[in-house]
């Protein structure tokens, strides 16, 4: 058809499978296995018709101020959006317009190249080393901007603040975005560096550690100038990005620091225990500081294990891509869920190893 010549075509991002089966164990999309804070649940029950009938505050002032107070910033240093995906998308549209290729790791969040294609931004990937770590020297060349997650996805590898600062320092003429979707599970945030570097944008989310993936709340923190430019693009794109329930519930989530510490602590403890158990079953993996483990079995193909788990309604994430096609990304669920996973893996691996020796 003639009209198709004018269509913008991209290879879309493929999200994790969203099954809906009774008694399934869903460990494929890095959702929090625990409910949101009690105050969030109470606020949901108290929602009124005005929370749905009226437009939200375009500036999302209540949430912006709440985040500023929580992190010790000025409200002019905070930007909010519909999940960190929306925030990063706005950042691509705002800051990566210099014509030179932007840089990000070759194994990373697979939305980055999709946004680059969508917005017609040239990009180049920098290969992680054999341990899935960033080589900072790869980012010390001419570019139009830099983005990387820390901890990385899907590997879970956390890079030190010294390495982060080395990359930011080497790229003072462009914007550097550190995507900290998983920072609350053991790493140290790069947030203190925004006072030193006005070109650094730190992005976080309520989806993982605050158990609110369904509400879609993301935010960025940076210099007042960076945030000002982001808001200019946002208001030119869509003034009403955050809905009223999300704003109200986001504030409630910030209030309960004790509960936040409790559930992140549970996830960290479960993760460390599962690491030990997986090692005894013959799995290897980079040391994860996220809410997932990126594991490869020494003798059985990842795709085979993925299919065997799926047949039992246990869902993990698998990518048939170069360098990572023998790894499974396993979200850390509750202790009960992980016990079911580990029990199945033990039985399945023992059976398959017995077949191999016959």
Nearest of 41, 20, 38, 28 to residue 309 by alpha carbon: 28
For residue 260 the two structure tokens come to 């936040």
Residue 1, pLDDT score:
78
Which residues of the chain have a pLDDT value below 70?
356-358
Q: For position 237, what pLDDT does the model report?
A: 87
CA distance 139 to 166: 9
Q: What's the pLDDT at 357?
A: 64
- Residue (of 276, 339, 345) closest to 304 by Cα position: 345
Judging by DSSP bridges, how do beta strands 328-331 and 200-205 pair with one another?
unpaired
Instruction: Tell me whether strands 292-297 and 328-331 are parallel, antiparallel or unpaired.
Output: antiparallel
* Per-residue confidence (pLDDT) for residue 12, from 0 to 100: 84
Q: Nearest CA to 182 among 205, 148, 215?
A: 205
pLDDT for the residue 234: 94
The CATH 3.40.640.10 portion of the chain extends over 38-256
At the topology level of CATH, where does 2-34+258-357 sit? 3.90.1150
In CATH terms, is domain 38-256 a member of 3.40.640.10?
yes
Q: Residue 199 has what pLDDT?
A: 98
Q: How far from 135 is each of 19, 84, 148, 164, 219, CA to CA, in Å?
A: 37, 25, 12, 11, 27
Starting at the edge strand found earlier in the chain, the sheet holding 123-126 runs 78-81, 218-221, 200-205, 176-179, 146-149, 102-105, 123-126
Q: Where are the beta strands (DSSP E) in the chain?
A: 25-26, 78-81, 102-105, 123-126, 146-149, 176-179, 200-205, 218-221, 283-284, 292-297, 314-315, 317-318, 328-331
Give CATH 3.90.1150.10 domain extents, the chain. Answer: 2-34+258-357
């Amino acid at each position: 058809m003639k009209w198709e010549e004018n269509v913008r075509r991209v290879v879309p991002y493929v999200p994790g499978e969203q099954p809906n089966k009774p008694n399934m164990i869903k460990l494929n999309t890095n959702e929090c296995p625990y409910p949101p804070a009690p105050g969030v649940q109470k606020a949901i029950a108290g929602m009124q018709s005005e929370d749905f009938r009226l437009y939200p505050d375009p500036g999302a002032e209540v949430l912006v101020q709440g985040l500023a107070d929580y992190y010790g910033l000025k409200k002019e240093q905070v930007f909010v959006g519909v999940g960190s995906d929306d925030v990063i998308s706005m950042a691509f549209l705002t800051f990566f317009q210099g014509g030179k290729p932007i840089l990000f790791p070759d194994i990373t969040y697979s939305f980055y190249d999709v946004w680059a294609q969508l917005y017609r931004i040239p990009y180049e990937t920098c290969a992680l080393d054999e341990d899935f770590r960033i080589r900072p020297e790869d980012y010390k060349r001419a570019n139009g901007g830099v983005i990387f997650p820390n901890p990385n996805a899907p590997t879970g590898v956390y890079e030190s603040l010294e390495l982060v600062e080395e990359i930011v320092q080497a790229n003072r003429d462009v914007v550097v975005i550190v995507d900290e979707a998983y920072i609350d599970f053991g790493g140290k945030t790069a947030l203190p560096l925004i006072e030193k570097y006005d070109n650094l944008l730190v992005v976080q989310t309520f989806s993982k550690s605050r158990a609110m993936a369904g509400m879609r709340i993301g935010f960025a923190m940076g210099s007042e100038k960076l945030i000002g430019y982001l808001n200019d693009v946002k208001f030119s794109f869509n003034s009403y990005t955050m809905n009223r329930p999300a704003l109200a519930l986001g504030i409630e989530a910030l209030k309960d620091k004790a509960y936040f510490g409790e559930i992140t602590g549970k996830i960290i403890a479960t993760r460390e225990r599962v690491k030990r158990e997986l090692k005894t079953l013959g799995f290897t993996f980079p040391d994860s500081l996220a809410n997932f483990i990126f594991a490869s079995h020494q003798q059985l193909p990842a795709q085979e294990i993925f299919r065997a788990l799926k047949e039992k309604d246990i869902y993990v994430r698998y990518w048939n891509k170069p360098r990572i096609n023998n790894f499974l990304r396993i979200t850390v669920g509750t202790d009960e869920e992980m016990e079911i996973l580990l029990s199945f893996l033990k039985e399945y691996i023992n059976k398959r190893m017995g077949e191999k020796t016959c």
